Chains A and B, each alone.
Chain A
């Protein structure tokens, strides 16, 4: 027996599928250190990438975070990582991202609000760490695909005491 989807449901499933595929591709490029491709093909020119502090639950106006990159500083982060200037990422760590719980929260016409959960395992320099967070994306529709305009990763950790640092892009 096949389940008949309404036209509306079918459209939502297609949209969810496209968004998920986009996020999975993003995860793969980051895991494969294809950071320039990621930067050039998946982000808008006015992208903002934010990781709030762990003692502030989520985004709070005026608060200081861990990362608050505009496009220029994110580009710098990418280039430093790829040029092996990041001493603590040389040799490069291996990362393994699991992206799940993908939800299209709202279609705002010009962009989508998307939520996802992420676990990023990082192995390198004799260590293994896991970064666990909740992501919020603002995805701008770009032809058949999207570009990320806002990328917020709210870590669920109370502290980064175990990790010490956050030298990769989450």
Chain B
């Protein structure tokens, strides 16, 4: 194995030196085709991967089809109401059994030979069945079902039958952040129709790093910051903010909002009309959760990285961003907005509007992120500069949001898995954790 060899001869990809307080990543991690192929087998074939949100398949028979970890899958709610994730591949010859991105179906029919599967995955129809011998049993040809679990409405699947952790165990400290999202509505959260499907000509890990990097914000996103200031953003009502390592590669930043939050944090940029409604919602959260937790839910922005390729950013809107590698130097990005199902229509419009101001391929910020990660990828062509540095805040007990602890947590888990470590190291094995 090349990688073990490299490590043994002192040529590692990730250099994590807690004595000298340096953290460096060899840029081959972003450019090397063999490493990219190995990521698929050692990371994407093994981890729990985000598939979608239960609200995307609200009724029995609802389904979505999409790629997860490079594999086409169908997430369907069967007629029995159970959410399942199937391989989107006919068990006969392999064609996709579902070509629509979403819809309602009692069954999926493969167009090749008309083999038909129920929305629970059972093979229910085979034309000209007399052509098969007496040993042929339809039950042997049900759709391949992936192990899947849901946590607070977020559906994940794993392609590793021996994945030792339940989803909740796998989420480790990140589960708390999904609680903080899902607690935002008593009737549940929903994905708003309309996905932003785009990509970048850069390695997928650059976008993961970028999504938990607050250090770049005032530099790269001057135009967004300027626009928000022109709308009358006000200083946060409290100070603070920190980065955390959540175990198993997950990390988060939390910080007081610089702008507003449509859920229950009003500032003048939202206009006076909605103020009473937003403040009434804020009061209800205090009743439900007490002042401290209510402030954490309603009055705090957060960005959480769930290893390997999911980002949930909860700020002036909530975005779920799934980032998929396509070889070493390309990625596909799927972003959707999440919101309370029972949201006031005017506030929903505010949420959508502010979402678009920042996010997506035409927002006032995301296009610059796309351009900068592509610029990094181009910069790596000059192999004379061998390492990228991610050492900010290594000397601190409580890293600030502009430090790089969440990115280091990501890379440490990446390094363990790429070396074939089974990832059993628990949070105690992570020496830098940030505030508990």
| Chain A residues engaging chain B, CB cutoff 8 angstroms | 51-56, 60, 62-68, 73, 76-77, 80, 85-88, 125-126, 158-167
B363-389 Cβ-contact flags toward A at 8 Å (1 or 0): 010111011101000100000000000
Asked whether, in the complex, the Cβ of B194 is within 8 Å of the Cβ of A56, the reply is yes
Listed by A's residue number, 27 A-B pairs whose Cβ atoms lie within 8 Å are A55-B195, A60-B193, A60-B194, A63-B193, A64-B196, A64-B355, A64-B356, A66-B361, A68-B356, A77-B364, A85-B222, A85-B223, A85-B226, A87-B371, A125-B371, A159-B198, A160-B197, A160-B198, A160-B199, A161-B197, A162-B199, A164-B198, A165-B361, A165-B367, A165-B371, A167-B367, A167-B371
Alpha-carbon separation in the docked complex, A67 to B378 (Å): 28
**B357 at interface, CB cutoff 8 A:** yes
Q: B196 CB to closest chain A CB, in angstroms?
A: 6
Alpha-carbon separation in the docked complex, A80 to B337 (Å): 25
> Which among A64, A67, A80, A162 is the interface contact of B223 at CB below 8 angstroms?
A80
Alpha-carbon separation in the docked complex, A100 to B194 (Å): 27
B174-216 Cβ-contact flags toward A at 8 Å (1 or 0): 0000000000000000001111111111000000000000000
Alpha-carbon separation in the docked complex, A87 to B367 (Å): 9
Interface of chain A: mostly helix, strand, loop or mixed: loop
Interface size class of B (residues with CB under 8 A): 35 or more
Excluding A63-B194, A161-B332, 9 further A-B contacts by CB distance (< 8 Å) are A53-B197, A60-B193, A66-B361, A68-B353, A80-B223, A88-B370, A159-B199, A159-B332, A167-B367
User: Smallest CB-CB separation from B201: which chain A residue?
Assistant: A164
Contacts of B199 in A (CB 8 A): 159-162, 164
Contacts of B227 in A (CB 8 A): 76, 80
Contacts of A76 in B (CB 8 A): 227, 230, 364
User: Smallest CB-CB separation from B102: which chain A residue?
Assistant: A55
Asked whether, in the complex, the Cβ of B337 is within 8 Å of the Cβ of A64, the reply is yes
> Which among A62, A68, A73, A161 is the interface contact of B198 at CB below 8 angstroms?
A161
Contacts of B194 in A (CB 8 A): 52-53, 55-56, 60, 63-65
**B360 at interface, CB cutoff 8 A:** yes
> Which among B193, B352, B371 is the interface contact of A88 at CB below 8 angstroms?
B371
Q: B137 CB to closest chain A CB, in angstroms?
A: 39
Contacts of B200 in A (CB 8 A): 164
Q: B307 CB to closest chain A CB, in angstroms?
A: 23
**B127 at interface, CB cutoff 8 A:** no
User: Smallest CB-CB separation from A53: which chain B residue?
Assistant: B194
**B10 at interface, CB cutoff 8 A:** no
Asked whether, in the complex, the Cβ of A55 is within 8 Å of the Cβ of B370, the reply is no
User: Smallest CB-CB separation from B198: which chain A residue?
Assistant: A160
Alpha-carbon separation in the docked complex, A126 to B355 (Å): 29
Asked whether, in the complex, the Cβ of B374 is within 8 Å of the Cβ of A51, the reply is no
